Amino acid sequence: MTWAQRLKRVFGINIETCTGCGGKLRVIARMLTHLEKASCRPAQGEGIQVGLNFLPAINRVVSLAPPCHRTVRPARAPMNRTPSLTRRSLALLAATLSLVGASGAAPAAPAMPALSDPPSGLHIPGKFIWFDLATADPAAAQRFYGSVFGWSFEPVAGTGGRYAVIRNEGRPIGGVFRPALPRGEQAGTRWLSFASVEKLDRAVGALTDLGATVLVKPTLVPGRGSHAILRDAQGAVVGLLQSASGDRPDEAVAPGDFFWVDLFARDPSKAGEAYRQLGFEVVPDDVSGSRERLLMVSAGYARAGIMPLPVGGREPGWLPYVQVDDVAAALERAKAAGGKVLREPDAAVLGGGVAVIGDPQGGVLGLIHWPAPATGGDRP
C-alpha cells in the first residue's frame, strides 16, 4: 500500500482522483499530474495550499487547484490570505507528508509528551510553553545544544525519526525536527515559539482579523493538544498551542529552561495591539527605560518583549532565550561546539547577563542569566 493510499484509508484524503472529472492523478516529486482526460480544465476557485513541512517557518507550499488541474506546481504562499480547504485539516496533511519516512511507510499517529504532568488544567494565555527547532541536520543540532545546555533528546515514535523531544532535567520543553522538502531544496534552521491560548480557534480568528496568515490550521497532536502556526501582519511566524493537559504553573526556572522571548517588529506598537488578542497586556518597559521596547504581560507576569527590528534586520521574528548559570561559560561551550557569538554580553544589560549565539546550522538563540530565583514573574 502506497503512502497516498494510506492517506485515503486513515484520514479520508484522496489525492489520487480528480474531484472535478474523476481522472486519475499520480505523484511525481510531490506534484500531481493527470493521467487521463486531457480535456479537463481547471474550474474557478481558490487553490488548496498544503505545507510541505509541519513547521512552515521554511515557507514552502504546494498549490493544489481544485477541483482539477493538469499540473500542480510549487507556489509562494500569499502573505495576506488564509488558504481555503474543503477537506481535512491542512495541518494534518502537512504533518503526514512531513513525517512520512524515506521508505514511504505511513507513520502511526505520533504521541507527544504532555506539557503538564500531572495535568494542571491551567491555561495561561500568552505564556510561551513550547519551542521547536526546524533544521536539516537534527543530529548535529542535538550534539550542539546538548553540549551547551545539557539537554537530552527523545525520538518520538511514529515520526520516522524526524522529530525528537527536547528534555531539560527530564522535563519536555521543546522539539527538534527535520522538515520534509523537495529533493534539492535546502532547509534553513529556525526556532519557533508557541504561546499558550485557552481557545485556539478564537485566537486564530482574532489574529487573522488583524491581517495574520494561517500557515498551519488548528491541528490535534495526540498527547500535547492542538496547535496552529501563523505569520502575523508584520511577517513574524508564531505558534499557538492549546495544551490538552494544561500549562505548567509558573515556577522556578532551572538552567537550560526557556525563559524569555523577544519579538523584533517593524512597528512594535501595532504588533502589541495585535498580540493583545492573545490575552497579553502590552505596557511600556519601565525596567530598561527604553522608550521603544514594550513588555507583554499576562497573569500579572511579563512574558516577552517587543523591540524595533534592528537596522538591516532581514525580517521580523521571535527570539527565544534560555536561562544559564553563567553566560560567559555558556558562550565558551557554544564556541567549542562550533557555534558563533552573535551578540556579546553588555555590562549595561543585566550586568552582562544577555548574549545571542548562532548554532552551526544557522539557528539563532538567546542566552540569559536572571540572577534572582527565576519564576514566571521574575522577568527582564
User: What percentage of the chain has pLDDT greater than the value 90?
Assistant: 45
| Cα separations in angstroms, 165 against 157, 218, 364 | 11, 21, 19
Handedness of CA 70, 75, 78, 84 (dihedral sign): positive
pLDDT at 30: 41
Whether 84 and 48 have beta carbons less than 8 Å apart is answered as yes
Phi, psi of 49 (to 5 degrees): -105, 125
pLDDT at 267: 93
| Cα separations in angstroms, 299 against 55, 123, 276 | 28, 10, 13
| Cα separations in angstroms, 160 against 95, 100, 224 | 12, 6, 19
pLDDT at 277: 86
Retrieve residue 75's grid coordinates. Answer: 507556489
Q: Which helix (H) or strand (E) holds 241?
A: strand 237-243
Residue 285 predicted with pLDDT over 60: yes
Residue 288 predicted with pLDDT over 60: yes
| Cα separations in angstroms, 74 against 57, 147, 177, 237 | 16, 38, 22, 20
Please name each of the domains of the chain with its CATH number: 3-99 (no CATH), 128-368 (3.10.180.10)
pLDDT, one tens digit per residue, over 297-355 is: 988 888 999 999 887 667 899 999 999 999 999 999 999 999 999 999 998 888 899 99
Residue 160 predicted with pLDDT over 50: yes
Whose CA is closest to 243, among 96, 339, 120? 120
Q: What is the reported pTM?
A: 0.71
Contacts of 275 (CB under 8 A, 6+ apart): 126, 232, 263, 282, 296, 306
pLDDT, one tens digit per residue, over 209-230 is: 999 999 999 998 888 889 999 9
Q: How many CA atoms lie within 13 A of 270 on its CB side?
A: 14
At 83, is the pLDDT very low, low, confident or very high (cuts 50, 70, 90)? very low
Phi, psi of 115 (to 5 degrees): -70, -30
Maximum pairwise Cα distance, the chain: 71
Kindly state the DSSP code that residue 54 receives in the 8-state scheme.
S
pLDDT, one tens digit per residue, over 245-271 is: 889 888 888 999 999 999 999 999 999
- How many Å apart are CA 78 and CA 147, to the nearest integer? 39
| Cα separations in angstroms, 342 against 183, 246, 270 | 31, 35, 28
Order of strands across the sheet that contains 190-196 = 152-155, 163-168, 171-177, 128-134, 190-196, 237-243, 225-231, 213-221
- How many Å apart are CA 40 and CA 47, to the nearest integer? 16
Residue 313 identity (one-letter amino acid): G
- Report the chain's mean pLDDT, rounded to a whole number: 75
